[in-house]
Amino acid sequence: MSMENKTALKTLKFDTVETPMSRKNLGNSLGCVRCRAKVNEKKAKWVHVIAGGGEVLHPSDEKNYVADGGDLGGYPVGPECAKFFGEFAK
């Protein structure tokens, strides 16, 4: 039986952006999924990246989402990019 999303999911498409902070060495930490700047992971907002990247899932649709090969999981978002993601960042 095929497991696929049965309802339309609320998603947001995004592109990565280059900033001066994008080029900093991140060491072992994850950078912001949108601008690649270093993020304090304890204070960060997070988004659920799906569709192989470039698209995030709204938190209210987590219960309706059926993970597939394009599910990349959670990624941190910096404070400036959190404004772009709005209610998609939790």
One pLDDT digit (tens) per residue for the chain, 90 residues: 334 555 689 999 999 887 766 656 666 567 899 988 888 878 899 999 999 999 999 999 999 999 999 999 999 999 999 999 999 999
CA angle 71, 74, 75 (to 5 degrees): 120
Q: Which amino acid is at 69?
A: G
The phi, psi pair for 55, rounded to 5°, reads -150, 135
Beta carbons of 48 and 12 less than 8 angstroms apart: no
What is 53-75 written as a DSSP string?
Answer: TTEEE-GGGGGG----TT--EEE
